[in-house]
Amino acid sequence: MEPYARGWAELMAAVRAGESWSGYERNGVFLNAPDGARRFIDISGVSGLDFPDDARAIAFCDWDCDGDVDLWLRNRTAPRLRLMLNRGGGGGGLVFELEGTRCNRDAVGAVVELGIAGQAPMRRTIRAGELFLSQSSRRAHFGIGSASTVESVSVRWPGGVRERFVGVAAPGRFLLREGLGRALPAAHPAPVEIPESGPLPTAAGGVAGRVWFPAALPIPPIVYRDRAAQRAIVRPDGKAQLLLLWSAGCGRCRAELESLQRDRATLGQAGITLLALSVDGIDGAGMAYALTEQLGFDGPWGFAEAGWLEALWRWAGASFDRTPAPGVPLALLLDRRGQAVALYRGAVAAAQVAEDAEALLGVDPLTRWHLAPALRGTWFTNPVPAAFVHQTLGVRERYSNTP
């Protein structure tokens, strides 16, 4: 098992670095040839389904109850779920829900056969799970176009008994109950409206530029050298803090330092202190002093110690499925206990930080969980306790420089 485990670890490292499970291959959609030939036509582009997502699963159902089949797509990358409603205007289908009385109640394994005048018989099998990690609707859906004459409907129930049903007229929805022999009209399920979501805000490299964490995350204790080269350790003092990492050779860092210096009053009014740490190390100290003097930056600043900085990059890697390369400017909004509640890649405005602090500081865990998605919407999983998040980070990153 060791080669397998090592291979899996290397694969996950590549994915976390931004590589694609699917090799950046777009989704493909193929249509049966209309002339009855045993071939398929590639309609990926015109279908609107050729997303570059790392798609993992697909499920079929008539979600909006208009008579045609809609699609649910499950992705490894965001958006994790896509609902694609069929707007092709080809409704008027037949939908059958099966109910077993002697076989299993859901009639899993049954085969429905539909005969339409002038067409070859069509068949649908009732399945419990199909494709990868997916379950389509267990209703049997038949697209019949403009056809209206139903010649026959039969079901081969699990166990091999075949039963014919009468009372079916197109289009419509019907219940086929084992042993009854007569189709019963079925009501449409209540529709569920799902709001559309917007795109993820991104920074360089296509990763999220502003992230609200679903739980407050502990970070490695901040160890740095102040402007007088004295070693300092930041300990939580009951105040929120904006921690900024910057480099004197970075143009965006310069702009951010200027902006935060100019708007420090905005942070102060929100009860947020600022600490700006250079990542340049001893070799770049001269440039760091020159830049802060040139900008008139008189806020707290210093030099991040190499060991702490390395631990912080590992922490950032452990906190995300996709691990972007370390880069600056990078900022963290820390709560009153010194735990990270938001992360900013690229420049961030003081007004944005103050707004985020008002939304995130002091909220209950469930509210924080539902605030976290960067897409408009909500989680489709239950929130996990913050202790679980902390434990996971602790397993993947043991801070070697804890004072």
- Residue found under tokens 């429905």: 112
Q: What is the pLDDT of residue 369?
A: 83
Contact 60, 137 (CB under 8 A): yes
Nearest-angstrom CA–CA distance, 147 and 170 = 8
How confident is the model over 210-242, as pLDDT tens digits? 899 988 999 999 999 999 989 999 999 999 999
Edge-to-edge strands, sheet with 81-84:
55-61, 70-75, 81-84
Residues lower than pLDDT 50 in the chain:
203-205, 395-403
Q: Which amino acid is at 375?
A: L
Edge-to-edge strands, sheet with 162-165:
122-125, 111-116, 150-156, 162-165
Q: What is the pLDDT of residue 325?
A: 79
Contact 16, 323 (CB under 8 A): yes
Nearest-angstrom CA–CA distance, 342 and 338 = 12
Q: What is the pLDDT of residue 204?
A: 47
- Residue found under tokens 């709560």: 335
Residues forming beta bridges with residue 273, ordered by sequence position: 241
Contact 325, 241 (CB under 8 A): no
Nearest-angstrom CA–CA distance, 281 and 269 = 32
- What residue segments make up the domains of the chain, in order of their start? 1-52, 59-194, 204-396
Q: Give the pair of three-digit tokens for residue 147.
A: 């056809």
Contact 75, 27 (CB under 8 A): no
Instruction: Identify the CATH class of 204-396.
Output: alpha beta
* Helices 251-262 and 285-295, packing angle to 10 deg: 40
- Using a cut of 0.75, tell me whether the model's pTM lies above it: no
Burial 118-153 (b: 16+ CB within 10 A, else e): eeeeeebebeeeeeeeeebbebbbbbbeebeebeeb
Paired sense of beta strands 140-142 and 231-233, if any: unpaired
Q: Span 59-194: which CATH code?
A: 2.60.40
Write the burial class of residue 266 (CB in 10 Å: 0-12 exposed, 13-18 middle, 19+ buried): middle
Query: What sign has the CA pseudo-torsion 207, 210, 212, 218?
Result: positive
Nearest-angstrom CA–CA distance, 210 and 199 = 13
DSSP 274-320: EEEEE-STGGGHHHHHHHHHHHT--SSEEEE-HHHHHHHHHHHHHH-
